[in-house]
Amino acid sequence: MNTFTEENYLKAIYHGAANGGSASTNEIAAALNTKAASVTDMLKKLAEKKLINYTKYQGVTLTPAGQKIALSIIRKHRLWEYFLVEKLNFKWDEVHDVAEELEHISSKELVDRLDDFMGNPKYDPHGDPIPNRKGEFKAHELKPVSGLSVNEEGVISGVRDHSSSFLQYLEKTQLTIGKKIKVAEIHTYDHSVIVQSGDKRTHISREVANNLLIAL
Amino acid sequence: MNTFTEENYLKAIYHGAANGGSASTNEIAAALNTKAASVTDMLKKLAEKKLINYTKYQGVTLTPAGQKIALSIIRKHRLWEYFLVEKLNFKWDEVHDVAEELEHISSKELVDRLDDFMGNPKYDPHGDPIPNRKGEFKAHELKPVSGLSVNEEGVISGVRDHSSSFLQYLEKTQLTIGKKIKVAEIHTYDHSVIVQSGDKRTHISREVANNLLIAL
DNA sequence: CTATATTTTTAGACTTATCTAAATTTTTTA
DNA sequence: TAAAAAATTTAGATAAGTCTAAAAATATAG
């Protein structure tokens, strides 16, 4: 077994090295709220254990073994988030920190039973895909609202920013997962957007439009 | 906040210093699978934090602050055990180790919501009382089967030995929590007991009779 | 009530994960 | 493409929790 710390590094590397790239020391340090020097030390240790591909100064990627662990952590994180929201009535902006702890509970039996208990959900409360027992998952094909043209429609299906302030903003404006929306107007001046959902029109900034993801 | 290790020490001291006594260094070391020297070091640290009353060579007890923490860990442990058995269909002999991990999840909100989700159970799957939000609980008044006379009846309501081998034995002989039993015979020769539950008579050893607890 | 056995504590060392400060490598820019 | 800037690594320290071996205190037995 691996320590919590090692698991957190693997998760950060997974996210930092998404879509074929590699994760940098500074990037990992920022994600884990630690210092670059500490990251270097840990990278040596993880490379020793064959969980990452690491060459000095070159950034890192996960080995298949490392990826397997990272995906199991992500699976646990997202399943627990689903549980917290669907069964214990937490709000979607309240679950992240608790799930950060729960994701390190080691029992595979527990996660798999939890998965069944909830009916094997495919997406977590923020729209992120939940890997199955084998680590497989299918991501929605998503586009930011800022990438749509006037009159294009779609369903809100994910967020790029998971911060609770952003999630609370969406909650307040009722732009939540599952809502069907249409781009009513785009202000070329500041790239802000007016989205329509039913009768309700909401004016959102370019930044919000960038972080709100739509399935077409 | 306290580390997992500190929490485990407080829990061990709570159990070791039950009914007015104090816990000894060796006893704690045995409970935590560590060495007496390590225990001494930790006792100094916990005393420093005012969580225990410690005088060299004299054994330890919990301060009110230490007791509060210990009870919150025990509350979490027992609620999670209940969840695992009642919601996720674990067997009662399979839950201990998983609950040992889950008990260290810090969120009080989580435990309290979990408690409500399950309908505020008063006893865990092994019959141990679950402290409420304030740390209060009422223990069953229990007697071992070995303390009963012939023809006395009662309901199985707890166990003294929580080992999975003992729990599996009880499962197999169907002597589980909630079963009503009567002492049919006592063999004075080896103090073994024949208990009757419905039509079924089961011959149990003195040791089993000692570890099986009955509410009268 | 002294001698022996047991329990507990101290001393010194090790491991893990972290840090700061300094050195080195890579990248950028002029 | 050489100098400056940024990123990364190394060196040396620190804190938490553990260990073994030895010393000290307490308990037990004759």
How confident is the model over B127-184, as pLDDT tens digits? Answer: 999 999 999 999 888 999 999 999 999 999 999 999 999 999 999 999 999 999 999 9
B178-212 core/surface letters (b: 16 or more CB in 10 A; e: else) = ebebbbeebeeeeebbebbbeeeeeebeeebbbbb
Question: Which among A98, A107, A113 has the least Cβ separation from residue B110?
Answer: A98
CA A108 → C1' D28, Å?
Answer: 50
A180: Cα separation from own chain's centroid = 21
What is the DSSP annotation of A157-188?
EEES---HHHHHHHHHTT--TT-EEEEEEE-T
pLDDT band at A24 (very low <50, low <70, confident <90, very high): very high
Q: Which of A83, A94, A95, A101 is the best substitution to test chain B (most B C-beta atoms within 10 A)?
A: A101
Q: Which of A97, A105, A113 sits opposite B88 (nearest CB)?
A: A113
pLDDT at B204 over 90: yes
Confidence of residue B216 (pLDDT cuts 50, 70, 90): confident
- Identify the residue whose Cα has the smallest distance to the C1' of D7: A26
Distance CA A176, CA A170 (A): 6
How much is the pLDDT for B210? 95
Q: How far is the CA of B23 from the C1' of C12 (A)?
A: 27
Whether A63 CB is under 7 Å from strand C: no
pLDDT beyond 90 at A156: yes
For A90-109, how does the pLDDT look when each residue is reduced to its tens digit (9 = 90+)? 999 999 999 999 999 999 99
Give the pLDDT confidence of A31-72 residue by residue, as tens digits: 999 999 999 999 999 999 999 999 999 999 999 999 999 999
* Residue range A75-102: mean pLDDT, rounded: 97
Identify the band that residue B122 occupies on the pLDDT scale cut at 50, 70 and 90: very high
Protein-covered nucleotides on strand D (Cβ within 7 A): 7-12, 16-22, 25-26
Looking only at the bridges linking them, the beta strands covering A180-186 and A153-159 are antiparallel
- Mean of pLDDT values over A118-136: 97
**Residue A146 per-residue DSSP state:** G
Q: Tokens 């670059």, residue?
A: A36
Residue B19 confidence class, pLDDT cut points 50, 70, 90: confident
Question: Three-class SS of residue B195?
Answer: strand
Q: Would the pLDDT of B21 be above 90?
A: no
